[in-house]
Structure 1
């Protein structure tokens, strides 16, 4: 109910990413000067228009009111049936962190070549931790949808103390929390989704791509394939010319995106890394582990395979890799599993017609990996 006149409110701005929220309890509404001008009852619906100085901006009496988002909850925040852009995901992770400060933590772990932020969001309070990352390859941005939908569903179930996909979410994530990195390559994803005019390095990218087809792009903004830039014995990876995919970079960890993920991993003691890619419906897991680790990593891979139906790639015994998961296996001595989520898409993004199938296969994988890690 209002306690002040509506003219004490700020002019309402349109929401770029509309979100519906629900009051967890009776919650005060403030004007732009911090003066209480009303309240909302438990269960009341509000429409989030944005975030300003840590507060949510909502529609109130036809204008803008300011609320503490920790007094609200969401139901379905992300629309995974459409491409999730860099700007959308960046906004969504900030909203999740403001809604649920008691069991989430948001960290900017670095920036891309063109200065776009790379975020990591923790869900759960478990002292043990695993890593789930996505979109290291630009055209494989459906993997961001998978990770964001995990965050959406897991955080809702955690908050409401409900189960999801057969897991007690709160119990699982309060034993082993998950750090999600939804978009490692925000420049590349932006290029694929929005085209060449969305980029600062237009001339370099045009020169590298040698085509007007930017949907095929896998690299970062200066033509380095980030999944060839990590040190899984990088020195043995052949040099190629700069192109839209496959170039390993002038030196190992030359790229800011790879440096950001490396530093983030080294600040933690992750029990596993589940690295999402998009084509093949297959699982990679091997990088010359010793006998005990071989058995452990294969056992986890088999669990994922049983749930997803994805085929397990047998050991190839090829020396030299630049992939993030292979580097994780070698440097952390823990499972690093690459999950390819969809049928082969050729030189472009996975079609959204595959979304429902992809999600049904992968919706529990974060929780599965979390529970498995709790035993180690």
Structure 2
């Protein structure tokens, strides 16, 4: 993901209970498989699709590949948590605490406990070689290529080294062995203090992702028109049956929706900052005269009172609600079926919210707490707005 800051490791797709017990992730992923090779097949499906044009069309919908990607990310995050807590596996034999090669060897005579210990050490070696953020960034880029994007300027060639799939495959095989020989009867003896620390860090995060850009340069990678066009396309797709059977480039919807998530999360930060600063939420943002002339429709005029716009979205529903609705909407757009009627209202609600944020992103530098006067002529904004009334009055 081009805006995600991949210089730090943190959890994105696991629930609170899964962070406290990563084994649940493995159980959900592996319980239907009889061999580790079957478990890693979904990984190589992404690789194959990324190297063959239109291969994604062989699936019933683009959502199938997207879900395989999310499953791999969940496994990466579970492995990272297991590695972070490896010192607390008191039953790991001392002789297995030394470094071992990743190459598979004959394991017929190795005990279950020894194979469990070996799995832990393989996982540790992989994370010494690659950070979690690098592994997640790599698999996203390959998924993105598999969906045939037209937006490619942000792709990092460093992530497109197919050798990373060998490390990911070894990681999944080790996780399968960890799952198969996990000493369930002894699980109550685990020291979960490390996982509790990561759960606390996860709960205290203001947003799902860290980003390498801010709203100040939001339109540097994607134009405002493309962002608005994506909303129109999403509205059309929600009403369409079998949309992807006759259309191309599902990666573009994924790309734009991660742009929209960036906006939602950045404005959530702004909203939290406004609350901390005790901002008068009824005060207008101090737009320049030039900007005011561009606000023509009634809905756009309401954006002058941006704090009120944000309050209506964030006061009752926090970022977790909007992230879940965002993800649900994206998956519905990829499923190749029209949206269920009972969910249409929720999806249109978030698309309208996103459209407002696209416009508001252009005006972010005019936040009322930063600019007491117009930058173009230093005239107090109140005098410019004295003939205007609040949209709710």
Question: Which bracket does the TM-score occupy, shorter chain normalised?
Answer: under 0.3
Question: TM-score, normalization: structure 1?
Answer: 0.25
Structure number with greater CO (CA < 8 Å, separation at least 6) is 2
Q: Which has the larger radius of gyration?
A: 2
